Structure 1
Amino acid sequence: MLSYRMRLHQVLPIFCILVMCTWASHYFDQEWNIWKSKYGKTYVTVDEELLRRKTWEDTWYKVQKHNELADQGLTSYRMAMNHFADMTGKELESRSCLISTGFPSNAPTNRYRTHANLPEHFDWRDSKCLTEVKNQGSYCGSCWAFATVGVIESRLCIKNHELMDLSEQQLVDCDTQDSGCCGGLPILALMYVADQGVMKTEDYAYTGKKMACSYNSDEAILLNTTKYYLLSGEENLASSVALEGPITTGFGVSSDFLLYSEGIYDGDCSKNPNHAIIIVGYGTEQEEENKAYWIIKNSWGEEWGEIGYGKIERNINKCYIAEFAATIDIM
C-alpha cells in the first residue's frame, strides 16, 4: 500500500504536466488559427509557418507578462496580439522608414511665442478633417509619405472645408530627394509637394512598392502655401497643433511600440528616430497622475493601437518625438 502511494505521488505530477501541456498545445492551436484567419496570414512553407508560430507564441507570453504589469499600474499602456505578432524582435526593429540625417540647410525653423492660453486638451479627431487611418503595408518603408500626405490632407481641409484623399504613391515614386520604400524625410517631401502639388489617391493609387513616376501636372492639386518649416520643442509642437492643424514628426519605434494597443505609451524606444507619424492632438490623463500625452495617427492600419491612433507620453521628448517635427502653412 505504501509503495502504491509513493508511486502515485511520483506519477501524479508527471500526469498533471502532460495534461497542462496538452491543454496549452490545444489552446495555442485554436488561437493561432483564429489569429491567422483574422489577419489573413499565409506562409509559403511548413518550416516558415513553424518559425512564425514559435515567434507568435513568444510574443503571446510577452504580451501577457506586460499586461499583468499594466494591471498592477506599473506601466500606462497595454499590448495586443496584432498583425505584427509573428515577427521577430529583430524584424520589428528593422522596420525603419525615416531617414534621420541630411536635414536640408534651406528648411526654415518656426519658433512660436509662448501661448499661455492653449487649451488643456485638443483633438483633431473631433473635426471632419482627418482621412481614415491608412496602412503603408509590410514591405514599403513609406511612413514619411503617409505622414506628409496626412498633414496636407488635414490642413487643406481646415482651410477649404473639403477633405480629400491624396496620393502617397506619388511621393514614393516621384520625390527624388527621398528614397521611396527605403525611407524618407517629411520636410523634404513637404518641399516637393509645395513645388509640384499632389494628386488624389483615385488618380494615383498606392501599390506598396516603388514604381515608375506617373505624375500628371494636369491632375495635381497645387498648394497655395506660404512656407514649410521645422518645429522644435514640445511647447511649439502643441501650439502648432492647436492653432493650425496636425503636424508630422519622427519617432524612435521599438518592438514594444509595434504591439501597442491602448493607453499612454511609456515604453522602450529605438536608439534613433526611425518612423514618421502625425500628431493630431494632446491632453492630460487625470487617472495617470496628470500624465501628459500626445495623440498620434499612425500608418499601420486600424488593427494597430486604438483603431490606428495612439497616445505617447508628452513633455519628456519621448522617443525623440520633438526632434523631427515639420509642417506646412496653407493659405
Structure 2
Amino acid sequence: MHFEKYLLALSAIAICASASRFDREWNSWKSKYGKKYVSPSKELYRRKAWEATWEKVQKHNQLADQGLTSYRMAMNHFADLTTEERNSKNCLLSKGTSQTPKINSYSHAQSSTIPDEVDWRKSNCMSPPRDQGDFCGSCWAFATVGVIESRYCIKTNKLLKLSEQQLVDCDEHDDGCCGGLPVQALDYVAQNGVMMRKDYEYSEKKATCEYEPEKAIMLNVTKYYMLPSEENMAAAVAFEGPLTVGIGVTEDFMLYNGGIFEGSCAEEPNHAIVIVGYGTEPAEDEDEEDTDYWIIKNSWGEKWGEKGFGRMKRNIDQCQISNMVATIDFTV
C-alpha cells in the first residue's frame, strides 16, 4: 500500500513538473512572438492547439535526427493554429475564377551549360524577406514585388524597395487580402508601374487605392510570361533572375525550419513564393542519390524557415511548383 502511494506521489510530481515546463515554454513562446489573446478562454483554446503542434514538431524532429527526413520543423509563429486552420490558408486565386491576361508560355533554348548552382542572394540584388502578416492573403503581391525588385537591380545595380500595398489596393484583377495571381499583378505593373514602398507603405489590409502615377517607377516591359517546366525554370533563374511560383502548401510547410523540404503538399497551389536560386546537396552515402533543390524566398518574415528563405526538392514538381510560374522582362 505504501508503495502504491509512493508511485501516485511520483506521478503527481511528474505531472506538475511537466505542466510547469509547458507553462514556461508557452509563456516564452508568447513573449517571443508577441502573442496576446482577448480572453482566458481564447488563450486556453490557442494553448491546446500549441501543445498539439508541439507534439507534432517533436515527433517530426526525432525522425530528422535519425536521418529519416531531410528537413526540420519549429514552434514558429504559426504554432498556436490548429491543423485545420493551417491547412486552410490560401492567398492565391483559383485559376478557374481568375481573369488571367492572355500571355504566352516561353521556353528557353535547352543548354547543358547552365551553372550547377545559382544563388541570387549573393548578388546584393535581394531585399530581406518581408512579412505579409497574419490577416492578409497578399503572398501574390509580395512574390510579384520580390521578382521585380531583384530583376530591376540585376539590370541597374540599384535595389529599390517597392510597394506591395499598391497591388493590394489598386490591382482590380486581383482580390487584395483575399488572394491574387502574380501573373495578373505583373500585367498590372506593366500597365501602371509601381510606387516605392516608402510612398505607399504596407498596412496588412486592403484600403482605398492611393496610386500616384507621378511617383511610380515605370518599367519598359518587353514581355511577361509563364514557363512550362522545371528545366526551363532553372535556365531562366540562371540567366535572367528570380521567378514567381505558386505552390500547394500544408501545415508541414508552415512549420518548416530548415533543410530540404519534402513534406506534404496541398492538392493545388495556394501560396506564392519567389525562386531565387537552385543547387544540389551531395548524398552522404555512395548508394544514395544527390538531392536537387530550389532556393525559395517566402513572405512570412525572417522568423520562418532559414531566416525567411527555404529549400524545396527540385525536378520532382514538388507541390506543383511548375504549375504557375511567371516572370517579367524589361529594358532600362
Task: Answer yes or no: same fold by TM over 0.5.
Answer: yes
Q: Give a deviation string over 1:171-195, Cα, whole Å, max 9, x none.
A: 0000000000000000000000001
Unaligned runs of 5+ in 1: 1-6
Q: Give distance in 1, aligned partners of 2:214 and 2:325.
A: 31
Deviations 1:257-303 (A, max 9, x none): 10000000000001111000000000111146411110000000000
Structure 2 Cα separation of the partners of residues 58 and 206 of structure 1 = 33
Q: What is the root-mean-square deviation in Å for CA atoms of aligned residues?
A: 1.0
Paired residues of 2:300 and 2:308 also in contact (CA < 8 A): yes
Residues 1:267 and 2:258 are matched in the alignment: no
Partner of 2:14: 20
Within-5 A mapping of 1:201-212: 201-212=197-208
- Rg larger in 1 or in 2? 1
Aligned to 2:57: 63
Residues of 1 paired with 2:309 and 2:5: CA distance?
52
What's the % identity of the aligned pairs? Answer: 56
Cα distance between partner residues in 2 of 1:105 and 1:156: 22
User: 1:303-322 to 2 correspondence within 5 Å?
Assistant: 303-322=303-322
**Separation in 2 of the partners of 1:103 and 1:36?**
41
Checking the alignment, whether the CA contact within 8 Å between 1:246 and 1:278 is kept in structure 2 is: yes
Q: Specify the alignment match of 1:168 in structure 2.
A: 164
Is the Cα contact below 8 Å between 1:107 and 1:187 reproduced in 2? no
Aligned to 1:3: none
Matched to 2:102, the amino acid is: N
CA distance in 1, matches of 2:113, 2:124: 24
Aligned positions of 1:201-240 closer than 5 A: 201-240=197-236
Matches within 5 A, 1:128-147: 128-147=124-143
Paired residue for 1:35, among 29, 34, 50?
29
Q: Which amino acid aligns with 2:269?
A: P
CA distance in 1, matches of 2:329, 2:19: 56
TM superposition shift of 1:9 = 3.4
Structure 2 residue aligned with 1:109: 105
Cα gap change, 1:162 to 1:105, in 2 (>3 Å) = closer
SS at match of 1:190: helix
C-alpha displacement of 1:103: 6.3
State the Cα distance separating 1:242 from its structure 2 match.
Answer: 0.7
> Across the two proteins, how many residue pairs are aligned to each other?
325
Runs of 4+ aligned residues of structure 1 deviating over 6 Å after TM superposition are none
Deviates more, 1:93-102 or 1:275-284: 93-102
- Structure 2 equivalent of residue 82 of structure 1: 76
How far residue 107 of structure 1 moved from its aligned partner, in angstroms, is: 1.3
Q: Distance in 2 between matches of 1:158 and 1:13?
A: 68
Identify the residue that residue 286 of structure 1 maps to in structure 2.
282
- Whether the 8 Å CA contact 1:196–1:222 is kept in 2: the answer is yes
Distance apart, 1:83 and its partner CA: 0.4
TM-score (norm: length of structure 1): 0.96
**Residue type at the aligned position of 2:292:** A
Q: Does 1:126 align with 2:136?
A: no
The one-letter code of the counterpart of 2:327 is T
Question: SS of 2:23's equivalent?
Answer: helix
Measured in 1, the distance between the counterparts of 2:182 and 2:244 equals: 7
Tell me which residue corresponds to 2:186. 190
| SS of equivalent residue, structure 1 residue 30 | helix
CA distance in 2, matches of 1:280, 1:47: 43
Cα distance in 1 for partners of 2:5, 2:111 equals 72
